[in-house]
Every structure is written in C-alpha cells, then in structure tokens.
Chain A
Amino acid sequence: MSALKSAEDYKTGEILNSAKAAPIRVLFSTIGGGATLLFIIVALLSKGEFQKGMAYSWLFAIVYFLTLSVGCIFWTLLHHASNSGWGVLVRRLMETVGSVVPALFVLALPIVMIPGIRDALWEWFPETHRVNEEWAVQKEDVVRKKFEEMKSGIDAGQLALDARKKEWSAGLEKAQPGEKVRIEAEMAAAEASQERLKEADPSKAPVQNEVEDEAEAEHFKHASPVLASKRGYLNPGFWYFRYFMFGIALSGIIYLLRSWSLRSDSDAANAGKWFRLMRKWSCGFLPLFAVSWTFLMFDWLMALDYTWFSTMWGVYLFAGAALNSMAFLIILLVGLQRSGHLLKVVNAEHYHIMGKLMHVFVIFWAYIAYSQFVLIWYANMTEETKFYLLRNSDGWNLYAKVFLVAGHFFLPFVFLLIRAMKKNMTWIAAAALWNLAMHFFDLYYVVIPERGPSLSGGESLLVPYAWITDVLAFLAVGGIFCYFVLRNLGQGSLYPCRDPRLDESLNLTN
C-alpha cells in the first residue's frame, strides 16, 4: 500500500502562481475588453435588424457563461449538502467559478435596462406597451360610457320603483290582512335592490376605480388574449423585481459559501464550525437555488416567445449547466496542473470521479432534452409545437441532428463509457472541451432561432451576418468571465486546506 497521505502535510494550502497567471489574465482581459469595445462600436454604427439582433448575441453569451457559473454553485451546494469527501480538493475551484455570477448579472444590465434593446428580445414588453397605449387613448370614452350606462340604470330603476310603489300603496288600501304582509315584503325587497344598485354609483371614487380596472382588464383580454392570461407573471414591475431578486439570491449564496470557506483556511481552531455552518446552510440554499435558476430561465429564455411554454424548461437548462460547469472545472483543473499547481494532491482518481459526473449529466441532459421534445412532438398541440417547428425549419433541422443528437449525446456518451478515458488527464480534457463546444451549439439553438422571425415579423429565419456578432459577444463575455475566474482564484488557497475531510480527498480511491 502506498503510504497514506496525511492532511497535516497539506494544511498550508497552495497559492496560485501569480507570475504564471498574470500574463494569462492580461490575455483574457485584452480579449474580453477588446471584443466588448468592438461589440459596442458595431452596435452604435449598425442599424435595423442587424443592430437589434445584437441583443440576442449578448443574451446568448451571457447565458452561456452564466450556466457554467451557476452550475458550479450547484456543485458547491451539492458537495456540502451531501457531505462529500472526494471533492474537497476541487471545491475551491467550484466556489471560484461560481463567484463570477454577480459580474454576469452586471453584464446583463444593458439588455435588461435599455428599453430599445429589451424590446427587441422580449416581445411581451412592446406588446404590453402597445395595449397600454391603446387603452390610454380609449380609456376616457369607454369608462365614461360605462358610467353613463350605470347611472341611467340607477335612474331607470328609481323610476320603475316609484311607479310600482304607487301601485302597491293603492293595492294596500284594498288588501286583506294576509295579502298585506306579502305586498309589504315585496316592497321592501324592491327597495333593497334599488339601494344595492345605488351603492355602485359611479360618482363614488372606489366604485370608479373598480370599474376602470375591470374595463382595463377586459380591454387587455380583447387586445392580446395570450399575454392577458400570463399578465400576472409577465408584467414589467414583477419582471424587474425578479431579475434583482434572482441576482441577489444566486450571488448571495455563493458569496456566503465562498467567504466562509476562505475564512476557514486561516481559522484552524474552528475548522469544524465553518464546515457545519456551510453544510447546514447549503441544504436550505438548494431550493432557493432551484427556484431562482428555473424562473430566471423562464424570464430570459422561455419568454423570448411569450406565447410558448414548457414545464421542463428549467430542468433542461439546469442539466446543461451542471454538465458543462463540470466540463469547465475539468479544464480548469487540467490547466492548473499543467502549469504546476495541485500536482501533489490531485490525481487520476479525482479526474475519474469528475469524468463520471460529466458522463452522468451527458445522459441526464439527453434524457431531459428528449423528454421535452417527445412529449411536445407526440401531443402535437399548436401552442406547444411552435418551438420545435421553428427549430425544424430549413437548416436548423440538420443542425439539431448533428450537433445535439450526435454531438451532444451519442459521441460523448460512448467515449466516456471507457474508464481509461476518464482517468487520463488529456483525454478527459478533450471530452470536456468537446462538451463545452456542444453546449455552445445547444444554447445557440435555444436562443438564436427566435431572432430572425421576431425581428422580421416572421419574414425570414435568419438575420444575415448576425453570426459575426454572436461570436464577438461570446469572446467578449468569455474573456471577462475567464479574467474574473483567474482573479478570484488568486484570492486564497487553491483548495480548502483546513477541511476536516481533506484526508478523505487526498487518499481517494474509486
């Protein structure tokens, strides 16, 4: 038996070699900054569909890197909640990649905040605006008409009541005692119903508001029936509230876990306390994470076509996020080891487990993507098939077969079945790179097909040359993302060196 490694020997941790990391950081910041600048210049100079289409490019790039980051938040949470020991040595990398989430939410601000860009992406914004404008014009007339109707109703009721009262009082004089009671009761009932009618007098303020709201809802339902039924969720106020809440929730989760973890490195006396704290909170954070991610993806991607819906949307994007964040972690780890870090602590066993998790999520992604497709395809209902109809048109059909069915599932599935491939640093990195490339095509297929039809009003599938800005946005956000990953990586030890389960991770076998 090779001698067991003792955590005592590794408790000082390991720091990122800044001399080696600095030039790479400069490279990434140059790529990110340069591409962003170029992107902004192109956006300012271009016009029409091409310019509006750039909003889709930026959204696509943001979502791509957000999936990597958010996936790492998931792995961190899962690691704590399940009290895993194997991944202590790579947990700091998960925390680091996850901690880039706030930067991505800030990068998303322009597409969320600037109305011109926002309206190009999410049609329900201009649609709501259009209906509201119409209503502003019609409002006075419609409401006045309603008031008049109500008033004349009250007046007519009063007249009728007065006339009947006369009849009754004439009848009362001649009536038998038994009949008298009946007539009096009838009179009281008629008077009460007139009183009720008067309560809805439109000259009273609360009644006016109620009538206005009712008329407005009726107008909305008439002007935009589909959006009217989703208005409780898809309205600008709530939408912005959700954007900020999800940003705060996701950033807050990883900020807390990462800062506790970093603090534990230097607090040897209380190491156990920090890890119990992280485990306890992770269990609570998991549902918050799931809700935030699911509804954020509803808001950003599913709402690209507000008439379409899929209940599997959240888990579909989660599957891609978990898979590709693991792929990114593998590449980061290989990069670190190639540059001389973590050589004494991380070995083939760790790659084997990470490879297995990646393999599992290759299958999980395919399972979810296929389930979403087959349910919609089989049921064949117009409001659901929209999504796949668009993505089966022309070139998109072949695209999906090649990149998603074969590239995203079958090839990596067969490749990762082989144990030797998961234990070999070079091959597992190649598989991870392949998966990241396929993830590019997966999200491209989710976001981009909406662009042409949305901007041209259904005239054309694609915006000419728009792929150039897609690549440019990808480089811009990717450069900034990688820069932040490297920057945050240098802020502490490369692994949590005081974790009580460090022994377990150092001597991993599987």
Chain B
Amino acid sequence: MSDTKTSPIPFAFVAEFENATELYHAAEHVRDEGFKRWDVHTPYPVHGMDHAMGLGKSWLSALVLAGGTTGFLTALFLQFFTQGSLYPTIVQGKPANLSTIPAFFPVLFELTILFSAFSVLFGLLIVIMLPRWNHPLFNSELFKKFSDDGFILVIESRNRKFDVEGTRAFLEKIGAKRIEAVEEDPV
C-alpha cells in the first residue's frame, strides 16, 4: 500500500462523520453537489437515507416483474401445450381445456415465484457487480469502522466531478471528522 500512496488519484475518499444526523446532512450536500458514484455505510439502517442520498426507485422490481411474468407464461404454455394439445391426460373425466385451469394453478404459482426469485437473485448480483474477489475499500482502515461505530461516506474518484484537492476540501467543509484516501491494489 505504501508504494501506491504516491499515486496522484486515489480510488476513493473515505470520510467518517460524527453521528447519523451529521452523515444524513452530509449526504444531502453530496447529493446536491451532483456526485454520482458514492455511497454511505452505517452500522444500522438510517430511515430516510435514500431520500437524503437522492436515490430513485430501484429498477430491480421491474426486473422481477418481467421474471415473474415470464415464469407465469412459461407455466401456462408448458401445461396447456402438453396437457391440452400434445398429450391430453384425462383425470376423473375432467376436461382437458381451459376449464382445467384450477389444476394448473399450483404450477403457475410455483413457476411465477421461482422465476421471480431467480430474477431477484441474479438481477441483484448483476446490479451490485458481484461476485468479485476483492474491493479496494477493504484496503481502508477507516472503512472497517462502519460495522462497528463509524458513519462512513465514500466518494469514488470515478466521478466526473471528482478532483483530489477540491473533493477533500468539500468533505472537510460538510463536517467530515476524518478523511482517508484509499488506493487501488497494484495489478
């Protein structure tokens, strides 16, 4: 780590704040400044933080809706195609057409749930860019405090608005207690 410290542009700035309220207001400032690649990390969920960070609605729900609908239609097709036309199985003299749909509901339900669950899991993994071996933030000593008593705000250098001196000054201005520059691992 020591040899990369000379690098002019760090991976990110990690800033610690005094408490949840401070962090909340800091997040509002960062949001208003127009940063895009940044996040906050707290030991517990802070209500209203999504609003302070200016987070919109996640598009994961749209993905799940698409997944669920696909599952529903798959089950519908699978059952009606096989049971209705390909190889109708007559059970207890019940018809093999649309009126048989009560018997198909369990599978319709199950596939809807299954495909929804898959789209949640894999959609989420894609959205948060997992799996990966490591993350530069793990190089930071300060960052480790977020799971204990630290209220952490991270601004990545991949922001268009990022500028080493200016951003550090900005973080100090909005009340950061400690600021640490995190370097990326040498490849």
Check A378 against B103 for contact (C-beta < 8 Å). yes
Report the minimum CB–CB distance from B53 to chain A (whole Å): 12
Q: How far is the CA of A422 from the CA of B105 in the complex (A)?
A: 27
Number of A interface residues in the complex (CB < 8 A)? 12
Note all chain A residues with C-beta closer than 8 A to B92: 378, 380
Note all chain B residues with C-beta closer than 8 A to A419: 57, 61
Asked whether A370 and B57 contact (CB < 8 A) given A1-B52, A509-B48, the answer is no
Check A1 against B48 for contact (C-beta < 8 Å). yes
Check B103 against A509 for contact (C-beta < 8 Å). no
Q: How far is the CA of A435 from the CA of B86 in the complex (A)?
A: 40
Q: How far is the CA of A347 from the CA of B98 in the complex (A)?
A: 45
Check B25 against A1 for contact (C-beta < 8 Å). yes
Q: How far is the CA of A380 from the CA of B21 in the complex (A)?
A: 63
Note all chain A residues with C-beta closer than 8 A to B13: none
A374 at the interface (CB under 8 A from B): yes
Range of interface residues on chain B?
A: 10 to 19
A373 at the interface (CB under 8 A from B): yes
Report the minimum CB–CB distance from B185 to chain A (whole Å): 37
Report the minimum CB–CB distance from A45 to chain B (whole Å): 44
Q: How many A-B residue pairs have CB under 8 A?
A: 23
B75-107 interface mask toward A, CB cutoff 8 Å, 1 = contact, 0 = none?
000000000000000001000000000110100
Asked whether A1 and B24 contact (CB < 8 A) given A380-B92, A419-B57, the answer is yes
Most chain B CB inside 10 Å of its own CB: which residue of A1, A374, A417: A1
Report the minimum CB–CB distance from B63 to chain A (whole Å): 14
Q: Whose C-beta in chain A lies nearest to the C-beta of B102?
A: A374
Note all chain A residues with C-beta closer than 8 A to B103: 374, 378
A480-510 interface mask toward B, CB cutoff 8 Å, 1 = contact, 0 = none?
0000000000000000000000000001010
Interface residues of B (CB under 8 A from A): 21, 24-25, 47-48, 52, 57, 61, 65, 92, 102-103, 105
Interface residues of A (CB under 8 A from B): 1-2, 370, 373-374, 377-378, 380, 417, 419, 507, 509
- A–B pairs, 23, beta carbons within 8 Å: A1-B21, A1-B24, A1-B25, A1-B48, A1-B52, A2-B48, A370-B102, A370-B105, A373-B102, A374-B102, A374-B103, A374-B105, A377-B102, A378-B92, A378-B102, A378-B103, A380-B92, A417-B65, A419-B57, A419-B61, A507-B47, A509-B47, A509-B48
List the 5 closest A-B pairs by CB distance, nearest first: A509-B47, A1-B24, A374-B102, A509-B48, A377-B102
